[in-house]
A and B are shown apart, each in its own frame.
Chain A
Amino acid sequence: MAELPQPSAQTGTTGHTRWVKISHWIVTLSFLTLAFSGFVILMAHPRLYWGEVGNNLTPALFELPISRNHQHGGWEESVPFFQDAASPVSANRTYQIFNENGWGRSLHFLAAWFLVVPGAVYLLAGIFTGHFRRHLVPGAGELTPRLIGQDLKSHLRLRIRAATGGPHYGLLQKCAYCGVVFLALPLAVVSGLAMSPTIAAAYPFLSGIFGGFQSARTVHFFASVVLVLFLLVHIMMIIKSGFKRQMRAMTFGKIT
């Protein structure tokens, strides 16, 4: 058990421990880089699919209106591979697409190391110091419809508790942090790994749990959308609850 600081007499918070602060900022920088480079990668082919296969010659689940110049040109007439009418086809692309994936993907994976390694350390530390149990996971008595309803109502009216600069957290706050730490980020990492040809060959179940390479890619996209939305709400709540105090508490400031 790591030693936790004594709670502040005025606010009752224990503040953030140093390892929480350090991992918070490493993961933040890593995530911002991943979101940026991920967007750049998506721009080369902003079509998403379900299943194992998807390309310009097959129907998409949906297409994002970013970088439409990936299809600014045409395709040569398609040639069927087989005799039957439903035969898959081959077609030649007649133009060079906008593609910054070389550096985009290298940056993405460089940043991913800073998510995966400190993230794994954070998860282990969170379990073994009791940080998750004490601060992040809602207690059995907390998850009642009444309390959830209350917290939801006060959030919808934008009545946000003033910052204490650390735990204990509110109920929805705990749920949001748990969702990010235990669901969205791990899902983004696992769906990302499932897309790797080498890792998918070694561990085919990774791609299997998503139902194929393109499904993993689509899940990866939605996990990142959820994380960006979380980030926006997170920043909004920090501003609403007292930006200066929250930033001090997560950086070098002492809790008061």
Chain B
Amino acid sequence: MKTNPLITRRKALITGLAPVGGLLLSSCSKKLPPTYGNILRIGDTLTYAAHRALLPGQSLAREYSHKDITSFPAIGTTNPGDPNKRPKPSETYRRLQSGSFADWRLSIEGLVTRPGSYSLPDLKRFPSRTQITRHTCEEGWSAIGEWTGVPLSRVLDAAGILPTARFISFHSYDDWADSIDLLDALHPQTLIAYGMNGRDLPVPHGAPVRLRVETQLGYKSMKYLQRILVRDEFDDGGEKGNIQNGWSWYAGI
């Protein structure tokens, strides 16, 4: 396993974990994602709260060896710029793809001291992490792949995440919006991945970069990352988010 030591996450962890602890204080109102009056969401929230309260902090998901890598289906959006994509293709993505993503930028906004955008070479200049992990799809199948990228915590650290931050939101070129809490965002295996199985991340798997959240189901590892937003309150992503599309926000199950 090729793993560069993670050195300066400590500051991010300390500023990050303090608000996570706040999640569990029952005296604080609105610390958990809302249930939207839907009885199913009560179970989701209960599972989320139980995981955060009962499980040890940031356990690493199992990592495998190179020979364990398996075939890997690409589902959902396999090319946001595809003219046949429903409801509509992303012209921006098509333009970026035709330029080999040279003009692509990942913007980081919200509760950070240094908002800005990162090009692919910018992201590759960060110390990288390579991990061979199991992707677990909510449908029931699984696959093992090797991911190379920069730990999200490093990018958040570089952007100067503020102590009031509690959730990290993501937006994608195929029109999804999602978010994770700081415990998962600062998890050492949570990557902004630009490489898969030793090559550039292929388009069907989310080129140029995708998120890897190894402690949750596959759908939380958003493909085709466009924008990262650091927030102090829960954001369900509206009609582009999990909840309004019938999916649990927390998929650590």
Contacts and interface: CB of A to CB of B under 8 A. Distances in A.
B59 A79 contact: no
Contacts of A44: 138-140
Nearest to B146: A81
A198 B252 contact: yes
Contacts of A32: none
B138 A58 contact: no
A89 B138 contact: no
Contact of B253 (A111, A196, A202): A196
Given A56-B73, A196-B252, A90 B202 contact: yes
A202 B56 contact: yes
A99 interface: yes
B60 A106 contact: no
B171 interface: no
Contacts of B253: 105, 109, 195-198
B207 to A, nearest CB: 12
B214 interface: yes
Contacts of A56: 73, 141
Nearest to B189: A201
B61 A102 contact: no
Interface in B141-169: 141-144
Counting chain B CB atoms within 10 Å of each CB, which of A47, A82, A101, A107 scores highest?
A101
Interface residues of B, number: 53
B5 interface: no
Contacts of A75: 73
Counting chain B CB atoms within 10 Å of each CB, which of A91, A197, A199, A217 scores highest?
A197
A97 B76 CA distance: 10
A45 B139 CA distance: 6
A109 B47 CA distance: 8
Counting chain B CB atoms within 10 Å of each CB, which of A53, A76, A217 scores highest?
A53
Contacts of A106: 40-41, 43-44, 248
Contacts of A213: 134, 136, 142
Counting chain A CB atoms within 10 Å of each CB, which of B64, B197, B214 scores highest?
B197
Contacts of B215: 197-198, 201
Given A53-B70, A106-B40, A213-B136, A198 B143 contact: no
B59 A53 contact: no
A102 B245 contact: yes
Interface string A82-104: 10000011111100010101110
A211 interface: no
B73 A55 contact: yes
A90 B139 contact: no
A55 B72 contact: yes
A91 B74 contact: yes
A90 B60 contact: no
Contacts of B72: 55, 57, 81, 88-90
Contacts of A200: 61-62
A41 interface: yes
B69 interface: yes
A57 B145 CA distance: 14
Contacts of A89: 71-72
A113 interface: yes
B42 interface: yes
Contacts of A42: 140
Nearest to B79: A92
B25 interface: no
Given A52-B142, A102-B247, A214-B142, A198 B71 contact: no
B94 to A, nearest CB: 17
Given A199-B55, A201-B214, A47 B43 contact: no
11 contacts: A55-B72, A57-B70, A88-B70, A88-B71, A105-B248, A106-B41, A197-B216, A198-B55, A200-B62, A201-B60, A213-B134
Interface of B: 39-44, 46-47, 51, 55-56, 59-62, 64, 68-75, 78, 134, 136-144, 196-199, 202, 204-205, 214-217, 245-248, 251-253
